[in-house]
A and B are shown apart, each in its own frame.
Chain A
């Protein structure tokens, strides 16, 4: 299957600093990517939809000024957690939607390996 990478895989930062997480589709172009957050022993919660060349759309309750999303190219979306606080500590996972050309292709989503953020 297609490959989606995330960087970094883990990060520890001090409270008040900003952290940028990258999500890359390595062997396909993704006009749409998604960002999820997963707290320990909980489900994946959709945060926002990242659209190449346009503004991201955020789910209800997600602060767009705190979680900045930039989808500058067809293979890269970034999530910046601004002024991070301990309650932002979580596992952040992106996914990229692949829509193959032609009728024979099947649209699906591929998940990145996740980024574990710990805010001290």
Chain B
């Protein structure tokens, strides 16, 4: 099955700085890569996603890049704010079937 690795496990940045979280996947057939934000005790919330036919996608302060050849994708958050503090998970999927999640990154944005 698919294996998704995510790093770093924790990331601390100053408010206003950028944050980058990276993931790699093992199954070259995977074609959908969502990113989720999860606050303590709550459900994961989709923040951005990318499909394998696109190399980059941006939504305001959030962007995701995908390198299919290297099988890695990254989440970029610019101008971080304290409310961005949460745990972020990447995932990989084939045709929106099973989602295989990375191990998570705890982002702490210091005011």
A interface list, Cβ under 8 A from B: 32, 34, 42-46, 49, 59-60, 91, 93, 95, 97, 99, 107-109, 111-114, 116
Q: Are A44 and B96 in contact (CB under 8 A)?
A: no
Kindly provide the distance from the CB of B32 to the nearest chain A CB, expressed in whole angstroms. 9
B interface list, Cβ under 8 A from A: 1, 41-46, 49, 89, 95-104
Q: Are B103 and A44 in contact (CB under 8 A)?
A: no
Q: Are A43 and B44 in contact (CB under 8 A)?
A: no
A-B contact pairs, 10 of them (CB 8 A): A34-B99, A46-B100, A49-B97, A59-B1, A93-B44, A95-B99, A108-B96, A109-B99, A111-B44, A112-B43
- Residues of A contacting B44 with CB < 8 Å? 44, 93, 111
Give B93's nearest chain A residue, CB to CB.
Answer: A109
Kindly provide the distance from the CB of A59 to the nearest chain B CB, expressed in whole angstroms. 8
Kindly provide the distance from the CB of B107 to the nearest chain A CB, expressed in whole angstroms. 14
Q: What 7 A-B pairs are tightest by C-beta distance, nearest first?
A: A111-B43, A107-B96, A44-B101, A43-B101, A113-B43, A43-B103, A43-B104
- Residues of B contacting A49 with CB < 8 Å? 97-98
- Residues of A contacting B95 with CB < 8 Å? 107
- Residues of B contacting A112 with CB < 8 Å? 43
Kindly provide the distance from the CB of A18 to the nearest chain B CB, expressed in whole angstroms. 24
Q: Are B46 and A93 in contact (CB under 8 A)?
A: no
- Residues of A contacting B46 with CB < 8 Å? 108
How many Å lie between the Cα of A90 and that of B47 in the bound state?
Answer: 24
Kindly provide the distance from the CB of B59 to the nearest chain A CB, expressed in whole angstroms. 15
Further 14 A-B residue pairs, CB within 8 A, beyond A42-B104, A111-B43, A113-B43:
A34-B98, A42-B103, A43-B102, A44-B99, A45-B101, A46-B100, A46-B101, A49-B98, A95-B99, A107-B95, A109-B96, A111-B45, A114-B42, A114-B43
- Residues of B contacting A109 with CB < 8 Å? 96, 99
Kindly provide the distance from the CB of B5 to the nearest chain A CB, expressed in whole angstroms. 11
How many Å lie between the Cα of A99 and that of B104 in the bound state?
Answer: 27
How many Å lie between the Cα of A43 and that of B89 in the bound state?
Answer: 8
Q: Which of A46, A113, A116 contacts B98 (CB 8 A)?
A: A46
